[in-house]
Amino acid sequence: MYKRVITLLFFFIFLSYGVFELQASHIIYNIQGTPSPASPSNPYYQTYRTSYHFQPVGNFMNDPSGPMIYKGIYHLFYQYNPNGVTFGIPVWGHSTSTDLINWTPQPIAIQPQMISNANGSFTGSTTILLPQSYTPAILFTGITPQNEQVQDLAFPKNLLDPYLKDFVLVPQNPLMYSTPQNQINATSFRDPSTAWFMPDGKWRVIVGSKRDRLGLALLFRSKDFINWEFADHPLYSYPNTGMWECPDFFPVYVNGSPMGADTSTFGPIVKHVLKVSLDDNKRDIYTIGTYDVISDAYTPDSGFENVSSLRYDYGKYYASKTFFDDRTKRRILLAWINESSSLDDDMKKGWAGIHAVPRTVWLDISGKQLIQWPIMEIESLRQNSVMLPTQTLKGGSLIEIYGVTAAQADVQISFRIDNYNSIENFDRSWSDPQLLCSRKGASVNGGIGPFGLLTLASMGLDEYTAVFFRVFKDSNNLVVLMCSDQTRSSLNPTTDKTTYGTFVNVDPIRDGLFLRILIDHSVIESFGAKGKSVITARVYPTLALDDKAHLYAFNNGTTSVVITSSIAWSMKKANIA
């Protein structure tokens, strides 16, 4: 079977070379967009530009697409408008890295080349087809001249090139498309996942879709990766969730190990994660469950039937994509972080959109949620560490953390609560943690909390973004709320200052409360309880810029808390050309 599949693959690759050159000589499609001043000599260009979060030199970027490792080189593709700061007809930008932190730009990987992607190349995934052939295959959504969404396939032109600078589209494109028989809406059919291989000798892939308000992960099967058949049932669906974008389906080991599993792993040693991006509210949600290889169906575990129950990130974080790093045996998560600035400000900057720091993701030992943690390579940028001694942070107090570059830092801090006498009671009607955080922000005094960090703070505290905890009592249980309060993040009146929040599944008496925050000029990624809850915020201070930014530990509750440990590092600039 493997030899037959390999032979077919190289046959189709061979055919693709001729078609690629023929198509390129026929027509060049114009890529429209809003012109932008994407130049480092433009002063506003640098003001909010990040130093260690991935972003291209200029213009608009959104979804990460097809990330992989090939011959020891990491590849990041992304939806990109090379001619403007707004969404236009997208191409696939391409950068490579040896450490997922420092990136080298490569030529555009996929752009309008055939009728099936004449109006753009949307999100997709890479599958390493077989260990024997070690062939990366990219499935992605093409947009036809009639604005129909179809699924196309591309292969590297030269498999001996570890940087994969050229790709060709197969002549059989499109491989998957809407028909009256499959009842697929041609404008709601996009973002194929990484494929997985099963014992029956067939590949599986899912594509996001909807029927009315029914969200769908449509399932397709193929023996040769060219001819795909539509399954008579979706992998999973859920009512009243709208369009499912960027679906991702992958196994995770059940023993709490951070080791990742190859996408084709199945059996009793793993659970499966189904993640989708909800187009209605721009949230990335996931469920944990069981994949039945006989029925080709996914069943969420008890308590996870509601697909909105768990989110990767409770802030700005969308269109995420994972891949299995077979070199380090990790599953790595990437995502797009949208702007919170106005279009006028984006035009001044000359760019829009960044990516989150890559995260390692694995199943918590409880089996009830995923753990996320910045990849260890980010620690190579740390320098000039500053430590706070163990000390009590009294109610109403503020301590500045000196000696760290507060606009470009990695901060870790742990708290202990010794006195629960003044704890506030939890109201069962407080079911929305984001709404609760907006009502009980950093400036609203409480019993135990708010306490945490004031990041990107100006002298005098006219500007700051507060990341903090509050603890409540619900009967005999403790409820921990984690918030990222942006209400005072900027004096710019046009900036979005949404406050984000989530409840954290942690026992503060047994485990204490831990925060790790990555600060990078206009983005703050906050990891609570050692990766159980994450909130990402985009902020655009007008005063707390570069060396004018400050960092504080604070406590606005009536109860004292103990800082048991705290260390902060200034971060070097990554090489992202």
| CATH class of the domain defined by 2-374 | mainly beta
Instruction: With H, G, I as helix, E, B as strand and everything else as coil, classify residue 98.
Output: coil
Spell out the SS3 assignment of 121-148: EEEEEEEECCCCCCCEEEEEEEECCCCC
Instruction: Give the closest residue to 69 by CA, choosing from 351, 330, 277.
Output: 330
Rg of the chain over CA atoms, in angstroms?
A: 24
β 424-425/465-474 pair status: parallel
User: Residue type at 239?
Assistant: P
Whether residue 63 lies in the annotated active site: yes
The residues of the chain scoring below 50 in pLDDT are 1-35
How far from 352 is each of 74, 337, 538, CA to CA, in Å?
23, 10, 12
pLDDT of residue 16: 37
Question: How far apart, in whole angstroms, are the C-alpha atoms of residue 428 and residue 121?
Answer: 46
pLDDT of residue 25: 24
How far from 353 is each of 86, 192, 276, 336, 399, CA to CA, in Å?
10, 22, 20, 7, 33
Of the candidates 63, 152, 313, 496, the residue annotated as catalytic is 63
Phi and psi angles of residue 477, each rounded to the nearest 5 degrees, phi first: -110, 155
pLDDT of residue 34: 47
Question: How far apart, in whole angstroms, are the C-alpha atoms of residue 577 and residue 94?
Answer: 12
The secondary structure of 219-285 as a DSSP string is: EEEESSSSSEEE-SS-SEEETT---EEEEEEEEEETT----B--TT--STTEEEEEEEEETTTTEEE
What is the per-residue pLDDT across 235-293, written as a single tens digit (0 to 9) for each? 999 999 999 999 999 999 999 999 999 999 999 999 999 999 999 999 999 999 999 99
pLDDT of residue 38: 60
Task: Please give the CATH architecture assigned to the domain spanning 383-571.
Answer: Sandwich (2.60)
What is the per-residue pLDDT across 81-134, written as a single tens digit (0 to 9) for each? 999 999 989 999 999 999 999 999 999 999 999 999 999 999 999 999 976 688
Name the residue ranges covered by the structural domains of the chain. Answer: 2-374, 383-571
Tokens of 414: 């742990």
Largest CA distance in the chain: 76
Query: How is the chain split among helix, strand and coil, in percent rounded to 5?
Result: 10, 45, 45
Taking a C-beta distance cutoff of 8 angstroms, is the pair 275, 334 a contact?
no
| H helix or E strand, kind and range, residue 7 | helix 2-26
Instruction: Give the closest residue to 75 by CA, choosing from 149, 158, 9, 162.
Output: 162
pLDDT of residue 42: 73
pLDDT of residue 23: 29
pLDDT of residue 400: 97
Instruction: With H, G, I as helix, E, B as strand and everything else as coil, classify residue 511.
Output: helix
pLDDT of residue 133: 80
